[in-house]
A and B are shown apart, each in its own frame.
Chain A
């Protein structure tokens, strides 16, 4: 069951919140500019609290159970992050305060930039992008600006492997570049022949997701980068999968020119039901001048007694700003908290155990589910959610049936290069017990698929609502309702 609509709860005359009376003399308002009606709900505070508490209980969440969503890195969101981000010294600070009054925030941002530079092997980092896709757009705009600055204006082609993240093509198109897809080879790597064929003097760059969305590390990474660089292009790294690489490999050292991080994946900041994220961008030396403005720098060096003065710096050839103010500061506090809790060794252990957990699931599931690109995976892997001898069952049915076992389904139907894909990413924070319970459920479902397929076709059975009519939603287009009684 879902909850009533707001208009069904609202009672004319009920008040949920009271402000103090005005303490200043009254000034007339411009009558012709005033609204005549304010159709808002009328609820008590308890009405509101119960409504949203009830709603929360209809969700699956990391705090409730396992969330093996491929490419989403649904790791545990530590509670200390939520405390530190709520310190009054952080929340009650206006973004346009004079820099002398916000040295704490600026120092934290500076340190976070330094950590991200060290982790990725980069010379510069901007914290401004608001999410992964926003970081991608920023990165591609940087690539475009770099070529333009060199007078190399014919470079308008950007290559995107078919195993890349879904947002890559749209990000490139937004920046005005033309997208050309590159296929994968039989082992899930970028097809080198296909890549070579596109490496000409119109090449702006390559957007590489590595590990890719198959969860595989490209076995020809160095050759791929070299081919692109030799042709005069730049390599963009989609860092959404950095959870597999912390302390394992620095993308900047291998030659990735620009990369975005997802603080809401790798560095444990909560997904919030769809955001807010944070997508800082790291670049190698030759791109530092193009970073979005402003970035945090040291304006006056400190001494033994006096700390440095932090402030904002505009890079010389900046692409400009990509949003208002300085980025999702509240998310930065959470990510920095997480980094301090881990330190250098802890971060490497994160990656090691994320990869361990994924390979453990792969080892236990590969005999029951076909894994088309089957080799040691990184933090995730992709299985097929279908069988020749159970023709009526699809990946979607497996996904829905998993809900009956109290698990969130894996990402399904992505990547597109795997038929009926189930993309599974356990993350490092899950225990062996949880993984074993998931394995047991997956094996049971594989059995059910062959013996009682109806169970899967009609799943889920225990959730607040059953399968929803998506066609009707798109046809009727009920996108809002009255929020108070007529």
Chain B
């Protein structure tokens, strides 16, 4: 399929090469391994493929049929039609990394827009052109801090309220780097507040990582922890949820040195977990230690404003094994989605969506608390996600909810033994009051069972 040559063209080309058959082109392959049988089905037509894939898709239950209160790092937000209309432009999605600026100004300026929008949203000075997701962005923050101290500080403090998948990813990445991770042991009280992490910070600490809003949805002023981190000479990193920043004080105001985040909420479909968008920002003074691609503004030889990948000498293809990261492909098209989403929503829209998430989540929390046996776990302020203590096993409650077409919250007992029977509920602008009331009613039934 998609092969344009006719037989006569093929013959002409083989003759030009000076061989008789296609097989002659492969004489350098060891004969006993050459042309193995592929035990795979034969080709289907586009009509058949379309049908086959539609069947796979229909074997899923999707969020047009289920009422979703599941978050835990991926959120069901509305995606304005304009976003995908831009993403479907072949000029964007069939382009390569913009290494040749003269024929890539579109991609380059879109990345520059993204960098500008994300720095404005997070209150930071520079943003790179993305990492794979929120988890690998934190892993790269650890790498960056370790490199910043030239490997001489080998302790990293992780908040127990940092997404468990992020903490797992960080540990996988750094299995060979000799870094000691502290602060998030399962013996730690998950209810602890960020300030309590100060006890783990010492003169060997390279980085302190917290999440804002944290994994349980809670929001705290991080000024004091940032100050204590800096007093110990370490760097301070915050992993964030960009929609929340439509309302909340940006982490830059807490004097964070690195702000990362999962950008999926910015116009990117849930799509069973990816592709998403790893946000990575820092202060200008650390820009040379930051990994990833970076677009800068400059001029061309005609005196026009132009954009180009810059500070490339930091990157793997030039610095080879001395680079701080191996990242090459990033999330280019997801960066474009975020740029379009943020430009479109703008000042008003972002405030609105953040406000809707906040208001609806608080309404849900209040209503759920009225159900016998359920109570909100933490008194601290929260954004759009909150933990509730349930009268019984979360798995059973979720089964009951699913029977009624509701996708219940995340079972916190999976990661936090102390939070057995606790569920993390996420509410977004997609949840109507009617849906929330319905959830509450089904929970009532569950508590009677």
Contacts and interface: CB of A to CB of B under 8 A. Distances in A.
Contacts of A94: 63, 68, 70, 74, 76, 270, 272, 407
B438 interface: no
Interface stretch (A15-23, A193-201, A442-450): A15-23
B270 A92 contact: yes
Contacts of A171: 316, 326
B221 interface: yes
B10 A356 contact: yes
Interface in A83-121: 83-98, 101-105, 107-108, 115, 118-119, 121
Interface string A340-369: 111111111110110111011011100000
A186 interface: no
Contact of B272 (A90, A344, A364, A399): A90
Given A34-B249, A35-B248, A2 B287 contact: no
Given A222-B30, A359-B25, A363-B18, A23 B433 contact: yes
A337 B16 CA distance: 34
A93 B272 contact: yes
Contacts of B301: 466-469
Contacts of B85: 49
Closest A-B pairs by Cβ, 8 of them: A176-B176, A89-B57, A325-B273, A104-B59, A274-B332, A63-B90, A95-B273, A272-B333
Contact of B96 (A25, A274, A362, A474): A274
B89 A323 contact: no
B363 to A, nearest CB: 4
Contact of B350 (A38, A375, A429, A430): A38
A60 B172 CA distance: 38
23 contacts: A2-B305, A27-B363, A34-B248, A35-B248, A52-B92, A55-B109, A69-B96, A96-B72, A131-B327, A137-B326, A174-B325, A249-B33, A272-B332, A340-B52, A341-B44, A341-B49, A356-B25, A428-B2, A465-B105, A468-B308, A476-B298, A479-B295, A482-B120
Contact of B262 (A59, A166, A319, A324): A324
A236 to B, nearest CB: 13
B88 A2 contact: no
A247 B36 contact: yes
Interface stretch (B181-189, B192-200, B229-237, B336-344): B336-344
Given A6-B117, A324-B169, A61 B296 contact: no
B379 interface: no
A275 B90 contact: no
B93 A272 contact: yes
Interface stretch (A39-47, A281-289, A384-392): A39-47
Contact of A473 (B89, B298, B340): B298
B98 interface: yes
A96 B209 CA distance: 24
B2 to A, nearest CB: 5
Contacts of B30: 221-222, 249, 254
A175 B174 CA distance: 7
A317 interface: no
Contacts of B249: 33-35
Interface size class of B (residues with CB under 8 A): 35 or more
Contacts of B173: 137, 174, 322
B293 interface: yes
Contact of A274 (B98, B175, B353): B98
Contacts of A399: 100
Given A34-B247, A48-B82, A479-B287, A108 B43 contact: no
A271 B2 contact: no
Given A115-B40, A133-B328, A144-B176, A474 B296 contact: yes
Contacts of A163: none
Interface string A220-245: 01100000000000000000000000
Given A174-B325, A217-B28, A467-B102, A360 B330 contact: no
A306 interface: no
A219 interface: yes
A3 interface: yes
Contact of A400 (B33, B102, B356): B102
A465 B105 CA distance: 8
Given A23-B432, A274-B329, A92 B340 contact: no
Nearest to B298: A473
Given A15-B348, A34-B247, A352-B25, A473 B321 contact: no
Q: Taking chain A's interface residues, is the majority helix, strand, or loop, or is none over half, making it mixed?
A: loop
B347 interface: yes
Interface stretch (B126-134, B152-160, B369-377, B440-448): B126-134
Interface in B234-251: 245-250
Contacts of A177: 176
A75 to B, nearest CB: 8
Nearest to B163: A324
Interface string B47-63: 01110111111111111
Contact of A474 (B50, B104, B310): B310
B100 A465 contact: no
B4 to A, nearest CB: 4
A247 B30 CA distance: 14
Interface in A45-92: 45, 48-49, 51-53, 55-64, 67, 69, 72, 74-78, 80, 82-92
A248 B88 CA distance: 34
Nearest to B38: A344
A280 interface: no
A52 B88 CA distance: 11
Nearest to A293: B168
Nearest to A246: B38
A130 B133 contact: yes
Given A42-B346, A97-B407, A55 B88 contact: no
A40 B17 CA distance: 58
A362 B55 CA distance: 44
Contact of B347 (A34, A41, A87, A172): A41
A145 interface: yes
B348 to A, nearest CB: 5
A275 B326 contact: no
Given A40-B121, A78-B2, A166 B320 contact: yes
A472 interface: yes
Contacts of B297: 473, 476, 478-479, 481
Contact of B274 (A23, A69, A86, A328): A328
A274 B111 CA distance: 10
Nearest to B53: A84
Nearest to A26: B359
A328 to B, nearest CB: 4
Given A22-B359, A48-B82, A321-B165, A431 B274 contact: no
A465 B98 CA distance: 13
A157 interface: no
A414 interface: yes
A196 B91 CA distance: 48
B40 A80 contact: no
Contacts of B293: 274
B419 interface: no
Contact of A170 (B18, B84, B321): B321
A300 interface: no
Given A33-B221, A49-B82, A352-B25, A40 B117 contact: yes
Given A78-B2, A344-B38, A105 B272 contact: yes
Contacts of B88: 82
Interface in B97-156: 97-98, 100-107, 109-113, 115-117, 119-121, 125-127, 129-130, 132-136, 143
B1 A346 contact: yes
A327 interface: yes
